[in-house]
Amino acid sequence: MKVVITWPDYDVAHEQLGGALQRAGLAIRLAPKRGARTPAELRGVLGQAAAAIVSTDPFDAATFAAHPALRVVARVGVGTDSIDLEAATASGVAVTVTPGANDHTVADHAVALMLACLRRLVEHDAGVRRGTWQRTGAHTPWLLTGATVGLVGYGRIGRLVAERLHGFGARILGADPAPSVRDGEQVMELDELLSAADVVSLHAPLLPSTRYLIGAPELRRMRPTAILVNTARGAVVDEAALARALADGQLRGAGLDVFDHEPPDLDSPLLALPNVVLSPHVAGLSEQSIAVMLRRATASVLDVLAGRAPADLANPAVLDRSMA
């Protein structure tokens, strides 16, 4: 049986990764995803694979239908918005994820984007490289200490961000479909949070109810001195509306790790704005988190192909079809 691996830089010699697959008698095909990939392109690399260890590859219903030998898709990460889970279940394909492995990494990155925007690091770095030395007036940075930070999505990662921000003396607000309250934190409706926060940081999953959760009306509710940070999913934000708000001075700045289409088009207006800090969907990536996620994804493949129920199934209903 063959395992197709689209995660870049997968170590085929590592004893807990490629070594473990090969000891189980599995052949490995590397097809790293380093940019955009269409479902048709993905179908071209899967072949007769029984398993796939994947990045953000687009597994649609047609892909599952075209690959009846496929038994498991092990996602390196937690997002499944690029995978049609209903079609996977109907085809008897287990889809696994690696929850919790990169929570701290995402929280660190969210705070880093806040600081980069408020301290205007990218703008000042570019200025120094141009030979300018603009420190005050229109180029003066701002402060995270004592700021009001609104966290949209108040699950594991949102709470880890809150813990980090307590060290800055920040006032923490939260908005979440399943609200709860902790000492020193206020959980409220989204509209109220948007109008009160100096920084809005997004940590909600991409669901039908959260697609374009932050659009033109929501951006208008934010303070013109506020910044927006997104380490969740790109489609949680209406990027066209965000670009207009930033260009018009309706919003102070934005820090974006995720985009509606990845990588974003080079002619996207967001790429031309000086008050936007960008990173290539790396919030969840560190040497430590990648190592944990790859080990767990590999173990999931080995479990499914050996007839064992894997940990962290994203579509547990598949057990009724293929592993009963």
Q: Along the chain (324 residues), what's the average pLDDT of each consecutive run of 10 residues?
A: 97 98 98 95 96 97 98 96 96 97 98 98 97 96 98 95 98 82 73 97 94 98 98 97 98 97 95 97 97 98 96 94 56
Integer angstrom CA distances of residue 256 from 117, 147, 231? 10, 19, 7
- Is 109 designated active site? no
Question: Which residue in 156, 262, 295, 321 is the catalytic one?
Answer: 262
Length of the chain: 324
310 near 90, Cβ under 8 Å? Answer: no
The distance from CA 194 to its chain's CA centroid, rounded to whole angstroms, is 21
Domains of the chain (ranges, CATH numbers): 2-101+286-322 (3.40.50.720), 103-278 (3.40.50.720)
Which listed residue (43, 233, 252, 296) is catalytic? 233
d(CA 89, CA 319): 9
pLDDT confidence of residue 324: 46
203 belongs to the catalytic site:
no
Any residues with CB less than 8 A from the CB of 66 and at least 6 apart, and which? 43, 46
Q: Is 294 helix (H, G, I), strand (E, B) or coil?
A: helix
- Give the model's pLDDT for residue 187: 80
Predicted confidence at residue 179, as pLDDT, reads 61
Would residue 262 show up in a list of annotated catalytic residues for this protein?
yes
